[in-house]
Structure 1
Amino acid sequence: MKKIFAAMFITASFAFASAQTISFDKTTVDYGTVKNGADGNRVFVVKNTGDKPLIISRVQASCGCTIPEWSQEPIMPGKTGQIKVHYDTKIGGPFQKLIQVYSNDPANVTATINIKGTVEQANAQPAASKGEVMLSNTATLQAAPAKAEVLKTEAAAKKQAKKLGKKADL
């Protein structure tokens, strides 16, 4: 019985040793700090270090702002492939996203790669000063001075009506 288990263990060891194996040139790509709307494309190099064809069946990002692309063709032993990742750099602020890579590597069916960085905020319009209202982020209306002018006009009309002995309907 011990010989049977030993033979099964050795056979299983050879099966895993002669399988396809996924490896990456790097598991994290740091975008650093990029401008809003900059090129959000980066590439991970995938290598098959085993002796059977490696098939990447699915690549899934943790967020819709990250879009992966990969070849459906098997990666032959000793050869490389690419996973292209596009991050939407119109979203300002720091980011860190996970990307799950599903393959036929029996020792690493789901591998994780990461992207991270910071996107500079888009040019913001200056805040309205006291007494101003921002319209469409471009036009400024002098609201407080205009309201003050209306109140002065109403007060003057009431005063004039009082002098004339009439009731002012405003």
Structure 2
Amino acid sequence: MRRTFVLALGAAMVLMNLSCKEEKASAKVEASNVEVAAERDAASKKLPVMSFDKKEHDFGTIVNGTPQEYTFTFTNTGEAPLIITNASSSCGCTVPTYPKNTPIAPGEKGTMVVKFNGAGNGAVSKTVTVNANTAAGSELLKIKAFVNPKDAAAQASIPLKKG
């Protein structure tokens, strides 16, 4: 039984091999398809580029709970309209506002406002991730501040008694 199975399997493999004709892959390619693919590839390389005037802002020393705001300015230095699909922060204390559903044409400027509620103690650093239709797909912005507690500001304004 095993011998019959092996012989049948061998015969099937020989028949399959004979029935398959070898063709070169290059013979199957049509020149017109190559041209269309090359044009599509060239068009797809025309992407927007999001160039920020600066990607990091330092608010300096602030008092806890003092709201802060900074406007990041960018230019589309690419060759296609720039579309920002999302902007999210590393925590809820930072809120980015970006141009939604508004393509930024090549050469045009845009702005992104980042609001920080001033929460924290000591050195604070927050990031904003900007998702767009660029080659990289996202850009990273950073804000930072040194946050003093409210009590420290109040105590600093009270004169010390000399004893």
TM bracket, shorter-chain basis: 0.5 to 0.7
Structure 1 residue 90 displacement after superposition: 4.1
| 1:42 corresponds to which of 62, 65, 70 | 70
Give the counterpart letter for 2:138 in structure 1: T
Task: Give TM-score, length-normalised by structure 2.
Answer: 0.64
* Structure 1 stretches of 4+ moved >4 Å: 7-11
Structure 1 residue 63 displacement after superposition: 0.3
| Partner Cα separation in structure 2 for residue 52 and residue 40 of structure 1 | 33
Q: 1:30 to 1:9 in 2, by over 3 A?
A: farther
Q: How does 1:101-112 map to 2 (within 5 A)?
A: 101-105=130-134, 107-112=135-140
Match of 2:80 in 1: 52
- Do residues 92 (structure 1) and 117 (structure 2) align? no
| Partner Cα separation in structure 2 for residue 75 and residue 10 of structure 1 | 24
Structure 1 residue 15 displacement after superposition: 3.2
Structure ID, larger Rg: 1
Structure 1 residue 99 displacement after superposition: 0.8
| Alignment RMSD (CA, Å) | 2.7
Q: How does 1:2-17 map to 2 (within 5 A)?
A: 12=41, 15-16=44-45
Give the counterpart letter for 1:74 in structure 2: P
| Partner Cα separation in structure 1 for residue 78 and residue 97 of structure 2 | 23
Match of 2:61 in 1: 33
Q: Gapped runs of 5+ residues in structure 2? A: 1-25, 27-32, 156-163
Match of 1:82 in 2: 111
Q: Is the Cα contact below 8 Å between 1:35 and 1:120 reproduced in 2?
A: yes
Task: Give TM-score, length-normalised by structure 1.
Answer: 0.62
- Do residues 23 (structure 1) and 48 (structure 2) align? no
Which structure dedicates a bigger proportion of its chain to helix?
Answer: 2
Identity %: 31
Q: Deviations over 1:79-129 (max 9, x none)?
A: 111110011114332211111000011x12011111111122102588xxx
* Residues paired across the two proteins, number: 124
- Do residues 71 (structure 1) and 65 (structure 2) align? no
1:78 is paired with a residue of what secondary structure? coil
Q: Is the Cα contact below 8 Å between 1:22 and 1:108 reproduced in 2?
A: no
| Partner Cα separation in structure 2 for residue 56 and residue 30 of structure 1 | 24
Give the counterpart letter for 2:125 in structure 1: Q
Structure 1 residue 37 displacement after superposition: 3.6
Q: Is the Cα contact below 8 Å between 2:93 and 2:119 reproduced in 1?
A: no
